[in-house]
Amino acid sequence: MGFLDTLPAPDRTEPHWLGTIRETARARFAETGFPTRRHEAWRFTELKGLTQTRFQPAPALPGDATVLGERLCRLLTHANRLVFVNGRFDPDHSHICTTTPETVFLGSFADWAASHGEAASLFAATGGAPDAFRALNQGLFSDGLALVVPAGVKLAHPIHVLYWGEAGEAATNQVKGLIRLGAGAEATVVESFAGTGATWTNAAMSVEVADHAKLGHYRLQDEALAAFHTGALDVTIGAHAVYDGFTLSLGASMARQDIHAKLVGERAFCGVSGVYLAADRQETTVASVIEHAAPDGRTKEVFKGCLADRAHGVFQGQIKVAQAAQKTDAYQLNKTILLGDRAVMDAKPELEIFADDVKCSHGATVGDLDETAEFYLRSRGIAPEQARAMLIEAFVIDAVELVQHEQARDYLADAIRRWLELRHPEK
C-alpha cells in the first residue's frame, strides 16, 4: 500500500480548478515519492522515521481547551490572533482586531482560495522528488493563513498564527498559506507550531512582498518531541522592499525548513536568519536558496544553534547572484556549538556568482562550549547547569537580535529561555 492510499484528499466543496490541481499534485507525488540521500539537497537529512510511519489525516477536533489555553496565554499581546487546530481554522479561539482595515483579507486560506481564481498561480508545478513535500501539500492541504494587504496599508498590530496539532495516533496536517503585501504595505506575522502526539505538520507558505513594502515574518517550531515538521517557504521580494524573516526550531523529532527567496527588484533586502536547539536524537535541518536577480540587492543570513546528546543538525545555504544583479551585498554565516561527543553537525554554505561587481561572503564554524567562560562563571558561584544555559543563550541571542520587530523578538527570546530552563533547571 502506498503512502497516498492512507491519506484521502480532503472532503470539502471547492472549485473545479482546485480539485484538478490536487489530482495533478497527488499524481506527481505518487510518481516520484519522497526524496532520498541521492538528491543533493537532501543528502544530510534523515527521513527514515517519517517515511516509515503510517499517517492518517488529522481528526477534526476542537483541541484540548486547557493546553490550548496555556499556549494562547503566550501569544503576543495587542495582536490579531488566528488559530488552526489540526489544520482547520478555529474561529472560537481566533480574534481579529476591529482596527484592521476592511480592505485587508485576514483569515482562512481555504476560504480565500475558494473565491479567488487567481489563487491558481500559487500552485506552480513542483519538480521531482526534491519537491515532493510541496507536491504533497498541494494535493492534501486543508487550510492555513491568508493575509492580503492592499497597496499603501500598514497594519498597526502584528498577526499571531497558532497551528496546533493533536492526535492519539500518527496523523498529518497539511497546511497551506499565503502572505501578499501590495506596494508600500507593511505587516508583521508570527507563526507558532505546537501540539501533542505524533503529528506531522507539512506546511507550505507563499510570500509576496511588492515594491517598497515591508514584512516581518517570524516562525517558532515548538512541537512535541514525537512529532515531525517539514516546511517550505517561497518568498518574492520587489524593488526597495524588505523581507525580515526568522525561524526558531526547538521541537519535533525531525524538523526541516526549506526556504527559497528571490529578490526580483533593485535595492531589495532579504533577511533570513534563525536559531536551532536540539537534544536527545532530534534531527533539525535548514536548507535555503536565495536568488539575487536584480542589482543593488542585499541579503543577511545568520543561523546559529546548539546540539546536545545525539542530536543531528544540518545547514545547507546557497546564495545565487545572477549576471544582472550587480552591486549585490550578500552575507551568510552558520555557527554551531556541540554540547555532546555524539552530536553531529553537517554544514554546506555555498555562493554561486555570475556578476563581477559584488560583495559576498559566507562561512561556517562548529565548536564546543567555551570552557574558559564556563569556568569563570562557575568560579563566581554559578551552578554548572546555569552556567551552561547562560553561555548557550549568549551564543544564540545574537541571531535573535536581528529580528526587527521588538515584540516578536521578545517572544522568540522567551521561547529560548523556556527551552533552556527545561534542559538546564536552576539548582
What would the pLDDT profile of 193-206 be if each residue is shown by its tens digit? 998 889 999 999 99
Burial class (CB in 10 A: 0-12, 13-18, 19+), 98: exposed
**Is the whole-model pTM more than 0.85?**
yes
What is the reported pLDDT for 394? 94
The yes-or-no verdict on residue 12 having pLDDT over 60 is no
Question: Higher pLDDT residue, 9 or 380?
Answer: 380
State the Rg of the chain over Cα. Answer: 21
Residue 343 confidence (pLDDT) above 70? yes
- E-assigned strand segments in 3-134: 56-57, 80-85, 88-89, 105-108
Provide the pLDDT confidence category of residue 45 given band limits of 50, 70 and 90. very high
The answer to whether residue 10 scores a pLDDT higher than 90 is no
Q: Which of 207, 264, 208, 205 is nearest to 230 (CA)?
A: 205
Return d(Cα 307, Cα 337) in angstroms, integer. 6
Least confident of 344-348, 354-358, 372-376: 372-376
Give the pLDDT band (50/70/90) at residue 235.
Answer: very high
User: Quick one: pLDDT band at residue 126, thresholds 50, 70, 90?
Assistant: low
How many other β-carbons are positioned within 10 Å of the β-carbon of residue 224? 17
Calpha distance 277→416 (Å, rounded): 8
Residue percentage of the chain with pLDDT more than 90: 68
Taking alpha carbons only, the member of 299, 302, 301 closest to residue 321 is 299
Q: Write down the pLDDT at residue 1.
A: 40
For residues 192 and 71, what is the distance between their CA atoms, to the nearest angstrom? 10
Count CB atoms within 10 A of the CB of residue 351: 15
Look up residue 357 and give its DSSP letter: S
pLDDT at 187 over 90: yes
Q: Which residue has the higher pLDDT, 228 or 1?
A: 228
Contact 190, 247 (CB under 8 A): no
CA 31 – CA 129 distance, rounded (Å): 9
Mean predicted lDDT score pLDDT of the chain: 90
Which pLDDT does position 180 carry in this prediction?
97
What is the β-pairing status of strands 298-307 and 329-338? parallel
Give residue 94's region: left, alpha or beta (phi > 0; psi -120 to 50): beta
Residue pLDDT, tens place only, 408-424 = 999 999 999 999 988 76
Cα(146)–Cα(243) distance, integer angstroms: 17
Residues contacting 418, CB < 8 A, separation 6+: none
Provide DSSP, 94-131. -B--TTS-TTSEEEEHHHHHHH-GGGGGG-PPP-TGGG
Split at pLDDT 50, 70, 90, the class of 427 is very low
Tell me, what's the pLDDT at 425?
56
Give me the pLDDT at residue 426, please.
54
Give the pLDDT band (50/70/90) at residue 108: very high
Q: What pLDDT, in 10s, does the model give residues 236-264?
A: 999 999 999 999 999 999 999 999 999 99
Helix (H) or strand (E) holding 421: helix 406-423
Tens digit of pLDDT for each residue in 66-76? 567 666 667 77
- Among 4-18, 153-167, 227-241, 315-329, the least confident range: 4-18
Triad 314, 58, 415: Cα angle to 5° = 45
- What is the per-residue pLDDT for 2? 53
Among 112-116, 276-280, 287-291, 343-347, name the one with the lowest average pLDDT: 112-116
